[in-house]
């Protein structure tokens, strides 16, 4: 039987992350605060992750993630979805921006838009998403609230490859987080986010290690 600490149980990851010859060129999509973006930027700056953030794309003009990009001197581009007639045209602008910044892998780190084949076909099997639940449970919006409403005793977070159906696709890394009796959406989400920062870095390290083995 698996033992679980009061903090979290992380399952599973590649056995060893070997150093890569060339950093993975990432494009990050984010809509809000950007704590996951910051966790990635910090790990890269500390030399813990063989990757580089080529560009941040954000869709809300006042998203705090834009401040974080400035702080880390990472190029950022605002693509406000309200200025595009449909999801496909927003995704076409995203792809153009990612290509212009020579992005190889796309990281949806708190990206609150549904993506279309326009993006997925431009980066086949190279778009990853972070979701605040143990998928396939609690897909879609307000996943933390959904978990509390369902009365589950364990929830968590997932990094997965993105497929067209919302919050679906092969799972890369998950972490379990116990739900405490007096949890509110805020307290539970805060503990989930601690694990998100960790598993997002882990998923990217695993991808970088696999890429290094191939090259």
Catalytic residue among 81, 83, 101, 131: 131
Tell me, yes or no, if 83 is annotated catalytic: no
| 108 carries a ligand binding annotation | no
Count, residues in the chain: 215
Q: Shortest Cβ distance from residue 214 to ligand GAR (Å)?
A: 29
Least distance from ligand GAR to the Cβ atom of residue 22, Å: 26
- Reduced to 3 states (helix: H, G, I; strand: E, B; else coil), residue 173 is strand
φ/ψ of residue 27, rounded to 5: -115, 130
Q: Give the range of 45-53, 77-85, 127-135, 172-180 binding ligand GAR by CB under 6 A.
A: 127-135
Edge-to-edge strands, sheet with 154-161: 9-11, 171-178, 154-161, 127-131, 105-108, 24-30, 51-58, 76-78
**Choice from 34, 156, 169, 178 touching ligand GAR (CB under 6 A):** 34
Nearest position to ligand GAR, beta carbon = 110
Q: Is 65 annotated as a binding-site member?
A: no
Asked if 35 is part of the footprint of ligand GAR (rule: CB under 6 A), the reply reads yes
Distance from C-alpha of 140 to C-alpha of 87, rounded to nearest angstrom: 17
Q: Which 129-158 positions form the footprint of ligand GAR (CB under 6 A)?
A: 130-132, 143
Phi, psi of 159 (to 5 degrees): -110, 130
Query: Residue 71 contacts by C-beta under 8 Å, 6 or more apart in sequence?
Result: none
For residue 48, what are its two tokens? 């813990």
Name the residues annotated as catalytic.
131
Contacts to ligand GAR by CB under 6 A: 30, 32-36, 109-110, 112, 130-132, 143, 193, 196
């Amino acid at each position: 039987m698996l033992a679980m600490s009061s903090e979290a149980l992380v399952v599973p990851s590649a056995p060893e992350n070997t150093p890569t010859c060339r950093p993975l060129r990432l494009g990050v999509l984010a809509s809000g605060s950007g704590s996951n973006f910051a966790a990635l930027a910090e790990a890269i700056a500390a030399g813990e992750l063989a990757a580089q953030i080529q560009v941040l794309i954000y869709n809300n003009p006042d998203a705090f993630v834009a401040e974080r990009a400035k702080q880390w001197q990472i190029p950022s581009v605002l693509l406000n979805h309200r200025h595009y007639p449909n999801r496909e045209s927003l995704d076409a602008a995203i792809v153009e921006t990612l290509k212009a910044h020579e992005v190889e892998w796309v990281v949806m780190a708190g990206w609150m838009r549904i993506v279309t084949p326009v993006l997925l076909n431009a980066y086949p099997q190279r778009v990853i998403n972070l979701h605040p639940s143990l998928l396939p449970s609690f897909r879609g919006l307000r996943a933390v609230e959904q978990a509390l409403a369902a009365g589950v005793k364990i929830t968590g977070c997932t990094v997965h490859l993105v497929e067209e159906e919302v919050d679906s696709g092969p799972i890369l890394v998950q972490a379990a987080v116990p739900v405490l009796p007096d949890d509110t959406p805020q307290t539970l989400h805060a503990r989930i986010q601690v694990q998100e920062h960790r598993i997002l870095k882990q998923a990217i390290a695993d991808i970088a290690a696999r890429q290094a083995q191939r090259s």
